[in-house]
Structure 1
Amino acid sequence: MKMTGNTILVTGGTSGIGRALAEALHERGNRVIIAGRRQALLDQITADRPGLVGMPLDLNDAAALSRLAADVRLRFPELNVLVANAGISQPEDMTADNWDVTDAQAIVETNILGVLRLTAALLPVLKGRTNATIIATSSNLAFVPRADFPTYCASKAFLHSWLQSLRHQLRNIPVEVLELAPPYVQTELTGTQQASDPRAMPVDAYVAEVMQLLERKDHPRGEVLVERDRARRWAERDGRYDSTFAGMNPG
């Protein structure tokens, strides 16, 4: 990925990893568009950081996605980088008498179908650009799941597999396909308590390490793995899967 002079769209760009990535990329001389569901946050962020562009987007709203794609083609035909970062998470207790698939369906809609729909909408634009890149955010939990977040972990495992196929199919276009697989990071993905959890990696530290890896092009197989990612990523290969799973899922 070229690190400057791009036009970049970041979904889920109003908070957490998405916002930190958008700001870091903007600081390196890129034109950055952030997309998110909360208009008030879009307005606040773009007012605080002149140069960022905000666009409303609910990935579960087909009409909203069509509007965004048309707006991007009209206003930013030079778009060459897509960061598909938006995602949601929710614990699920499948032993509960009242358990149903409502939360699971919402996670699949956003984390899986949202990424696929977004990619389908903007891939025709990206295929015509030089230095085109797609970056999608999966999770370290794609490799060893937390059993209390079953659909979230499975959605990220889906993305990990799907991105490999996308990367192979686009190898001669060319559009570079990269995967972020963050560890536990201080965001509000699972609630406000996560943002201050000392066990989680500070979001600024995570994004700073990601930017270093991108600058060095240190992402074998298209996987952008910070140091904290590596043990879980290779747990099965290294014969540590069972102990790692047990440590993450006591009892």
Structure 2
Amino acid sequence: MGRDQARLELVAAELPGKVHAWPVDLSDRHKLHAAIADLPRRFPELSIVINNAGIQIEANFPDGSAWSRRADLRRETAVNLDAVVALCAGLLPHLAKQPRAAIGNVTSGLAIAPKRSSPVYCATKAGVRASRRAPTSTGSTPTLLPRRAS
């Protein structure tokens, strides 16, 4: 899944039969939730999810210019953090049924060493980093699911 149809098709062409080009705007929660509901139906053997989407908006908060970019900053939060949380929460029940499954959440070094020009990006990546370390009710981490008993 991704927002750029042409780039998705290039990757799918390089890996025929292994990659399916599926354009989804992760900042649109209705489209995201529909995709999450549809993923297990389209791919019943889905066992690995890699959350790698990210956008970075430069915004200067001290000079007030960030206010003019608030729609971009909301989109940045939606893609970088909200979509990751939704994908993990929405797909964990399906993944837990697989013999082996994993979720990989890609963050950034800026999660621990933020830069001044992209504070929202750094905060969203720190949020993803923190959420992937939070224990689940099974005591495992969300990034690796325990093996299902055969």
Instruction: Give TM-score scaled by structure 2 length.
Output: 0.82
Moved more, 110-119 or 46-55: 46-55
Out of 75, 81, 102, the position equivalent to 2:48 is 81
Higher Cα radius of gyration: 1
- Structure 1 gaps, min length 5: 1-34, 179-251
Calculate percent identity across the aligned residue pairs. Answer: 33
Q: Which has the higher strand share?
A: 1
- 1:148 CA drift (Å): 1.4
Q: Which residue of 2 aligns with 1:148?
A: 117
Contact 2:81 2:124 (C-alpha < 8 Å) held by counterparts: yes
Q: Which residue of 2 aligns with 1:99?
A: 66
Q: Which residue of 2 aligns with 1:63?
A: 30
Contact 1:127 1:175 (C-alpha < 8 Å) held by counterparts: no
Contact 2:37 2:90 (C-alpha < 8 Å) held by counterparts: no
Contact 2:132 2:142 (C-alpha < 8 Å) held by counterparts: no
Number of matched pairs? 141
TM-superposition CA deviations, 1:192-240 (whole Å, max 9, x none): xxxxxxxxxxxxxxxxxxxxxxxxxxxxxxxxxxxxxxxxxxxxxxxxx
Matched, 1:43 2:12: no
- 1:126 CA drift (Å): 0.7
Report which structure shows greater RCO (CA 8 Å, sep ≥6): 2
1-side partners of 2:73 and 2:36: how far apart? 27
Q: Which residue of 1 aligns with 2:133?
A: 164
TM-superposition CA deviations, 1:89-110 (whole Å, max 9, x none): 0111112244315133222111
2-side partners of 1:93 and 1:141: how far apart? 17
Instruction: Say if 1:80 and 1:175 are closer, same or farther in 2 by CA, change over 3 A.
Output: farther
| Amino acid in structure 1 at the alignment position of 2:130 | S
Instruction: Say if 1:98 and 1:156 are closer, same or farther in 2 by CA, change over 3 A.
Output: closer
TM-superposition CA deviations, 1:9-35 (whole Å, max 9, x none): xxxxxxxxxxxxxxxxxxxxxxxxxx1
Q: Which residue of 2 aligns with 1:202?
A: none
1-side partners of 2:89 and 2:77: how far apart? 17
2-side partners of 1:99 and 1:69: how far apart? 31
Q: Which residue of 2 aligns with 1:177?
A: 143
Contact 2:132 2:141 (C-alpha < 8 Å) held by counterparts: no
Instruction: Give TM-score scaled by structure 1 length.
Output: 0.51
Contact 2:59 2:65 (C-alpha < 8 Å) held by counterparts: no
Matched, 1:130 2:106: no
Q: Which residue of 1 aligns with 2:147?
A: none
Instruction: Say if 1:169 and 1:176 are closer, same or farther in 2 by CA, change over 3 A.
Output: closer
- Structure 2 gaps, min length 5: 145-150
